[in-house]
Chains A and B, each alone.
Chain A
Amino acid sequence: MVTDGETWWNKVDGKEGKSCASCHNDAATTMKGVGARYPKWDEASKKPINIELQINKCRTEQMGAEPFEFDKGGQIGLTAYIKHQSLGMPMGIDLKAGEMQKWWDMGKETYYTRFGQLNLSCANCHEDLMGKMIRADHLSQGQTNGFPTYRLKDGNNSIHNRFRGCIRDTRAAQPKAFSDELMALEVYVAWRGTGLSVETPSVRQ
């Protein structure tokens, strides 16, 4: 997926006849450390923004191209490519910018809320049961530092797809990708990973 991302990085698209490389040149220097600092505050939308939405912002505002739909086109590839430029660097997001703290609070609230017919919270599985086996899965801390990941059974997996999958497994209604609820969760979960090295793209079962 990283190589796919590199292809998209150099691909001219949209009315302006530009590629990502036209403005950002060599990702190895311009994107170094960027992925480790996301999600970050976006003053224009007055909301947190993640890599996927930043890519769409550049596509619509800078390139005159269509935004990628969730998990489509070059979204996962480019996100992986950008995060990969921070390989080994510690995750650290800025909660002091804008209203990030408020979103962190919202995300934390969600993390500890029990959802669905099975009545389980993120914390139940990734804090209380961390290290246990649930069917064939070894429960991890549910960190995002390896995302997007490559799953042996079904390929590339984005953060919001993973969140949606975990919520579905509690038999709750799934919030939409990039909804306020999932953006707040991404902020909070990224914060829980403070100091962990970026490992994109990690391979998962």
Chain B
Amino acid sequence: MNWGKTVTGLSAAMLVCMPAAMAEVAPGDVKIEDLKVAAAITDQAGNPEEGAKAFKDTKGGNCLACHANKAMPKDLFQGNVGPALDGVAGRYEPALLRAILVNSKAVFGPQTVMPGFYTLDVGKNVREESVGKTVLTAQQVEDIVAYLGTLKE
């Protein structure tokens, strides 16, 4: 882990890596500062409906495996590994939610069991088809951040 190092020199790096034409920030270039990723990592705004799909997709976020969500009452079998996400929009601002999604370990610490969804800081022996890839795309992260923003109590 070298978040400490990446945080220094942050703004310079952001300027170089994110020229206006670029559609998304590469996983290695996303900066988590003060437990936040302040700016969106794609230039297309997050779509909450797409976010809801990626949220429940077992091959995508599979968030329901670990989190309950009352807004999805039709989905049986919601896990309780992490806290229920009901009303999460009232507890966390988008920049913090984005940081949690990008790399939960940078927010909760290295011990957390929540996977990082847009990071290459992963476990050993990653299966071949996933090497060098993130669990979610940058757009899916933005879509889920937008979806989480709808979870108000």
A interface residues with partner B (beta carbon < 8 Å): 113-121, 124-125, 128-129, 132-136, 168, 170-174
CA distance A88 to B115 in the complex (A): 39
A117 adjacent to B123 (CB under 8 Å): yes
Partner of B64, one of A128, A135, A174: A135
Which residues from chain A contact B125 at a C-beta distance below 8 Å?
115-116, 172-173
Which residues from chain A contact B122 at a C-beta distance below 8 Å?
116-119
Given A117-B115, A120-B113, A170-B79 contact (CB < 8 Å): no
A132 adjacent to B81 (CB under 8 Å): yes
The answer to the question of B46 belonging to the interface, with a C-beta cut-off of 8 Å to chain A, is: no
Given A133-B81, A173-B125, A117-B130 contact (CB < 8 Å): yes
| CB nearest to A170 among chain B residues | B123
B60 → chain A closest CB, angstroms: 12
CA distance A133 to B79 in the complex (A): 5
Partner of B81, one of A134, A136, A170: A134
B interface residues with partner A (beta carbon < 8 Å): 58, 62, 64-66, 76-81, 113, 115-116, 121-128, 130, 133, 135
B77 adjacent to A136 (CB under 8 Å): yes
Which residues from chain A contact B126 at a C-beta distance below 8 Å?
116-117, 171-173
B101 → chain A closest CB, angstroms: 14
Which residues from chain A contact B65 at a C-beta distance below 8 Å?
134-135
Name the prevailing secondary structure of the B interface residues: loop
B46 → chain A closest CB, angstroms: 23
Given A117-B115, A117-B130, A120-B113, A134-B124 contact (CB < 8 Å): no
Which residues from chain A contact B128 at a C-beta distance below 8 Å?
173
Partner of A117, one of B58, B80, B127: B127
| CB nearest to B65 among chain A residues | A135
CA distance A129 to B82 in the complex (A): 10
A115 adjacent to B123 (CB under 8 Å): yes
Which residues from chain A contact B121 at a C-beta distance below 8 Å?
119
| Among all A-B residue pairs, the 4 with the closest Cβ atoms | A136-B77, A119-B123, A114-B123, A118-B115
B139 → chain A closest CB, angstroms: 18
Which residues from chain A contact B127 at a C-beta distance below 8 Å?
116-117, 168, 171-174
12 contacts between A and B (CB under 8 A): A113-B124, A116-B125, A117-B135, A132-B79, A133-B78, A133-B80, A134-B65, A134-B79, A135-B65, A135-B78, A136-B77, A173-B127
CA distance A115 to B122 in the complex (A): 8
Between A117, A125, A170, A172, the greatest number of chain B beta carbons within 10 A of the residue's beta carbon is seen for A117
B130 adjacent to A135 (CB under 8 Å): no
| CB nearest to A181 among chain B residues | B125
Partner of A132, one of B58, B64, B80, B124: B80
| CB nearest to B111 among chain A residues | A128
CA distance A173 to B57 in the complex (A): 22
